[in-house]
Structure 1
């Protein structure tokens, strides 16, 4: 998990091969970032009309989310102390963020019942994790400190998407409150972020920019919800929301450039599970750029948005290959001799 504290080791297995319980105990909740990364790539592919690839990655997202949900429940039931310890770590909000990313893509399929169920689940988890994580913020935090913002804005994105499809004005107004709360959480987290992570981080430093991109995406969803005949915002409100959304995208692109320059200056090619927290912001920046192009009627942004999407796809493939190689090596090293 990004920024996690060390957890107690699992009990030893009776044989050389890892047991199911060992694999659960050894799985870091930061693996939720893999669900987030795959889900947002699916969203981006959908926005650019690559529907077949989008549905393949959606199926992968759903399968990975289901596995992590089973892990989450198993820890809650069987290893309560370990679950509580992980719920207090900075990366815990990935559970909410991953659920909302999946929900956003599911909502685009048409029927809203599955998206509503995911929204309800994320809404229940969100305050529980925030009250455990935020009080433990300190100076010198890794990029995972921004995950509370990501989780909150994820709720805003999914809430606005469902509100648009269902014509629920109350839900859109709730999403707007979450949007502003997410920005407040970002402003509170920013002074605590250790800037040395730009050149030393193992991947989750990219969430500093990714939190802004999901905020921009939330802005576009709120603007789009108003187009559904709900008449949510007057001209002044819509103008403020549009200006803030564009500003968020500009700031996100600036972060993207800084983070990319830091990667070039000090390459970190070795695999770390936190590299999924690099892919997610890349994909989210692409999705936000494409969405802003439509929401504020700036069609020339579509080209850069699609280019950023294919960069994110390439990063996803590279990290997935590295994860598979790392997993295979770990299994071989634990096999009986």
Structure 2
């Protein structure tokens, strides 16, 4: 991966006046780090983790600055679905940190995300309306991100209550997905600027949460009886199948209605691609279906290529001093 400046990315986002999109960039980079680790590319995974961590810190600093000195704008942005990328990015970053064995830091990230989640979720849901963009599915993504991190920590520290909490969040995330689906503008499949892919990304992280819950018993815990495990396994596989179908539909729509211009919302295309690859690899291991690893690797490198393409577009936009996105959507945010 080429050198990527999180500060330049945040500058691009600020100029576009859509700061929540910066969270999608962090999320995209962090999930690629998780996927690269699963495929044995540890060096690339750590580089991605370092980039995601640096961008997360810069995003956090920007968050504090807006909260203290631009309160009205902060409140307005907190009501948009994109604000939930802060929670999702924190949880995915924490999941990768947990895999490094840094459980105390992962716990701190889980605590931070858990504190932000109910506040932002309540504000965002109050602003829901009909015919919304794909970012509406971030309510599910943020919730399932908490489930993934909690389940990962449950396995690492043999803590049963964390796994049971993660299971509750898993089912709640699916309920939120259904509610968001009722408000999603289907025209976004043809017209969206990039965040229409979150519809698939939410399914992908739900499948990843299911796989992580199945793996949680590997930490020496007895969590699920045979019936519970069977249901969880079936739902996880079904979610992955739905995600792959959604991926194919969205990819076909990109070919049918090409949108070749850079838009900051394209980061919300990259993270569902990376999430689908990571979910495929994780489900393959959790349900013991080895042949899924091949497609998972292919999807991962497609996501890496998409990351590089969007990163180049973001840096070019910064150097060109563009103020807004090239692609506009008519649906409410």
Preserved contact between residue 24 and residue 71 of structure 1 (Cα < 8 Å): no
- Check if 1:163 corresponds to 2:150: no
- Check if 1:189 corresponds to 2:180: yes
Structure 1 position 226, deviation (Å): 1.4
Unaligned runs of 5+ in 2: 1-10, 324-333
2: CA distance, partners of 1:28 / 1:274: 11
Preserved contact between residue 193 and residue 259 of structure 2 (Cα < 8 Å): yes
- Which TM-score applies when normalising by structure 1? 0.91
Quickly say closer, same or farther: Cα 1:331–1:206, change in 2 above 3 A.
closer
Quickly say closer, same or farther: Cα 1:57–1:197, change in 2 above 3 A.
same
Unaligned runs of 5+ in 1: 1-19, 333-337
RMSD between superposed Cα atoms in Å: 1.6
- Check if 1:39 corresponds to 2:35: no
Structure 1 position 227, deviation (Å): 2.0
- Alignment coverage as a number of residue pairs: 313
Larger Rg: 1
Structure 1 position 78, deviation (Å): 1.1
Give 2:168's aligned residue: 177
- Check if 1:103 corresponds to 2:94: yes
Give 1:208's aligned residue: 199
The 5 Å alignment of 1:43-192 reads: 43-192=34-183
Deviation string for 1:142-198 (max 9, x for gaps)?
A: 000000000000000000001110111001100000000000000111111111000
Partner of 2:182, secondary structure, is helix
Give 2:276's aligned residue: 285
Partner of 1:207, secondary structure, is helix
Deviation string for 1:285-332 (max 9, x for gaps)?
A: 000000000000000000000000000000000000000000110179
- Which TM-score applies when normalising by structure 2? 0.92
The 5 Å alignment of 1:222-241 reads: 222-241=213-232
Structure 1 residue runs of 4+, over 3 Å off?
22-27
1: CA distance, partners of 2:209 / 2:190: 29
